[in-house]
Amino acid sequence: MSEQFSTQTTAAIDRARRHSLGDLLHRTAIRYPDKLALVDGEHRWSFAEFDAAVNRCAAALADRGLAKGDRLALLSHNCRHFAVLVFATARLGVVLVPINFMLGPEEVAYILDHSGATALVAEDVLAPTAEKALAQSAAPARVRGWIGPSGAGATGEWEDVETWIAGDTDPGEPDVHVTDDDPLRLMYTSGTESRPKGVMLSSRSLITQYVSCTIDGGMAPDDVELHSLPMYHCAQLDVFFCTDVYLGATSIVLPAPDPATVLATIAREKVTKLFCPPTVWISLLRHPDFDTADLSSLRKGYYGAAAMPVEVLQELSRRLPDVALWNLYGQTETAPLATLLPPHEQLSHAGSAGRASLNMETRVVDDSGVEVPPGEIGEIVHRGPHITLGYYRDEEKTAESFSGGWFHSGDLGVMTADGYLSVVDRKKDMIKTGGENVASREVEEALYLLDGVAEVAVFGVSHPHWIEAVTAVVVPRDGVTLTEEQVRAHAKARLAGYKRPKYVVFAESLPKNPSGKILKRELRTAHADLGAAHP
């Protein structure tokens, strides 16, 4: 119907109705100008100060030639500079490309090249990786920003990002027209494939997801949240940090989830809300300071990114009885929330990923895309405004993932008649042994019931007879000695013969990415010869 108005009037209407990622902080700063917004070490910003810093940074980026549609890659641990760049790029319509800081130079160079980044901002401790990546990359990264928390100064072509955000003036918001579905984020998946995919997210994807998080996740302006998981990952960044900014909650930023620091920060800052993947919750429970730290302010706890062992969930409920827990399930492509299990169903539906969140619809389908009956295993698919715009520069993968008008997650699951989802496994993690399918999660849940097990990962290795052999890598608790015979006897009492581990390996730790996901691909590679050596 817009053809009834002149181009000028239509543009004015569009500007008046704009609701993009870059607008959220500004509106919160109007509502709560003096409220504490962000704590990063000794730096404490109100929302008005945070908003002004974003405007100064946006102006600095524009002065350096960055414009709508350009890509800015960001290689950094959590800090206030990271937070500023999230919103400064959004106000310019510049696409932010957060990069996993555990990647090597070749992997970073691939992301720079694939995204076509015209700017790169790197933390000083990651500068050697950034320099090597730039040397290998053909990306036109003409703008180079330096974040220096260690105190090391920028050199050569690098500029200190602090000079972009420092000052007492506020130049105001840039006058850039950003629509709901302009891509503003390019998130490279951490997954298990050799090359990551660039997931495009827009304001519509992100903001509708923030609304689902707020309503279903019990989030509120009076929250004080600790952000210690990496903000390059969409769980910490978009389920929690940006949602907090949208609501006007206070954010405490840490560079890493060191258990002692997390516990001390909760006590010092009176933190009320905390997200951790299961591996980090386990590290907190096992830390000697857990029982002496003042955690009385904590009221809300969230977990996700990987399956929470039921035994650990029960222990959390016992040791933190005043903390309401939520289970969140999703992936980068769903911005990332898809389903959620609320506090009052944690024990009655233990192990479930809950039901579809407010703005999402979830089904379980067969290989033809037909919905399977309740109780049957199929692929989990989603539909709703959270969903990605597609994979950057990958028509084939995008078409495959959106087959039938649903987003295909690559996860296997089971749905109950009343809509509760249980995630069985990744399609690629389903173990096919002796003609039978074994869900690695089922075996892991059984092994977690063995006293003395701190962590366990189950996967398949090639085998001359079984095709794949069920393999378990077990991390004992500190001070506990476990034997292979104990693990086998425990599995025998709880699992069918074909589900029991053929191989049991003990380790001091499991390989994980910064978001806490266990890297089973590394375990498969490390133990690939088990089947041949011990047929």
Q: Mark whether 348 and 487 lie in a shared domain.
A: no
The pLDDT score that the predictor gives to residue 435 is 66
233, part of any domain: yes
Contact between 139 and 115 under an 8 Å Cβ cutoff? The reply is yes
User: Is 170 in the same domain as 210?
Assistant: no
DSSP result, 33-78: TTSEEEEETTEEEEHHHHHHHHHHHHHHHHHTT--TT-EEEEE--S
Mean pLDDT confidence for 336-361: 95
Q: What is the pLDDT of residues 245-284, one digit of tens each?
A: 999 999 999 999 999 999 999 999 999 999 998 889 989 9
- pLDDT higher than threshold 60 for residue 2: no
Residue corresponding to tokens 């978001």: 515
At 91-103, the pLDDT tens digits run: 999 999 999 998 8
Which CATH number characterizes residue 215's domain? Answer: 3.40.50.12780
Question: Are 215 and 197 contained in the same domain?
Answer: no
Residues 11-26 pLDDT 10s: 899 989 999 999 999 9
Supply the range of the domain harboring residue 439.
Answer: 430-533
Reported as a single tens digit per residue, the pLDDT across 439-448 is: 788 899 889 9
- pLDDT greater than 60 at residue 145: yes
**Domain end residue (candidates: 204, 229, 251):** 204
The average pLDDT across 297-302 equals: 98
188-201: per-residue pLDDT in tens?
Answer: 985 444 578 999 99
In a shared domain, residues 454 and 379: no
| Total number of domains constituting the chain | 3
Say yes or no: 128 and 230 in one domain: no
Report, as an integer, the average pLDDT of 340-358: 94
- Domain assignment present for residue 363? The answer is yes
Question: Which of the two residues, 146 and 4, has the higher pLDDT score?
Answer: 146
Name the residue type at position 403: S
pLDDT at residue number 211: 98
Scan for tokens 């997954």, then name that residue.
Answer: 191
For residues 443 and 421, state if they share a domain.
no
Model confidence over 207-228: pLDDT tens digits? 999 999 999 999 999 999 999 9
Domain match, 455 and 497 both = yes
**Do 44 and 129 fall into the same domain?**
yes
436 pLDDT exceeds 80? no
Q: Considering the domain boundaries, does residue 380 fall inside one?
A: yes
> What is the residue-averaged pLDDT of the chain?
93
Q: What is the mean pLDDT of residues 126-152?
A: 92
CATH of the domain at 190: 3.40.50.980
Q: Are 481 and 463 in contact (CB under 8 A)?
A: no
Q: 3 or 482, which is more confident? A: 482
Confidence at residue 437, expressed as pLDDT on a 0 to 100 scale? 73
Q: Is residue 127 part of a domain?
A: yes
Determine the pLDDT at residue 470: 94
Note the pLDDT tens digit of each residue in 447-483: 999 999 999 999 999 887 787 899 999 999 999 999 9
Please compute the mean of the pLDDT values over residues 97-111 and round it to a whole number: 91
The per-residue pLDDT for 193 is 45
Mean pLDDT of 37-57: 98
Give phi and psi for 277, each to the nearest 5.
-70, 165
Which of 145, 174, 204 is where one domain is finished?
Answer: 204
The pLDDT score that the predictor gives to residue 517 is 77
pLDDT surpasses 90 at 361? yes
**Residue 434 phi, psi dihedral angles, 5° rounding:** 55, 35
Report d(CA 39, CA 369) in Å as an integer.
47
Torsion angle, alpha carbons of 310, 315, 320, 322, to 10: 60
Q: Look at residue 1 and tell me if it is in a domain.
A: no
| Residue 526: how many other CB atoms lie within 10 Å | 14
Distance separating alpha carbons of residues 79 and 102, to the nearest angstrom = 16
Segment 384-434, tens digit of pLDDT: 999 999 999 999 999 999 999 999 998 999 999 999 999 887 777 778 787
Side by side, which strands form the sheet with 467-476?
A: 453-463, 467-476, 503-506
| CATH code at position 466 | 3.30.300.30
Instruction: Report the percent of the chain where pLDDT is more than 90.
Output: 79
Buried (b) or exposed (e) across 248-284, using 16+ Cβ within 10 A? bbbbbbbbebebeebbebbbebebbbbbbbbbbbbbb
Name residues whose C-beta falls within 8 Å of residue 248's C-beta, 6 or more positions apart in sequence. 28, 31, 32, 35, 37, 47, 221
Q: Are residues 444 and 490 in the same domain?
A: yes
346 in the same domain as 209: yes
Facing residues of 52 across strands?
Answer: none
Residues 358 and 338 in one domain: yes
| 26: its two tokens | 């500004």
Instruction: Kindly report which listed range (89-93, 150-154, 350-354, 391-395) carries the lowest average pLDDT score.
Output: 150-154
**Any domain includes 279:** yes
Separation of alpha carbons 378 and 376, rounded Å: 7
pLDDT for res 333? 97
Name the percent of the chain lying above pLDDT 70: 98
Quick: pLDDT tens for 65-86.
Answer: 999 999 999 999 999 999 999 9
CA 278 to CA 308: how far, in whole Å?
A: 5
CB 216 within 8 A of CB 338: no
Domain boundary among 186, 204, 222: 204
| Residue (of 392, 394, 388) closest to 407 by Cα position | 388
pTM for the complete prediction? 0.85
399 domain residue, yes or no: no
Contacts of 313 (CB under 8 A, 6+ apart): 325, 346, 347, 350
The answer on 150 and 59 residing in a single domain is yes
Q: What is the pLDDT of residues 375-390, one digit of tens each?
A: 999 999 999 999 999 9
| Amino acid, single-letter form, for residue 239 | V
Q: Give the Cα separation of 80 and 32 in Å (integer).
A: 19
395 within a domain of the structure (yes/no): no
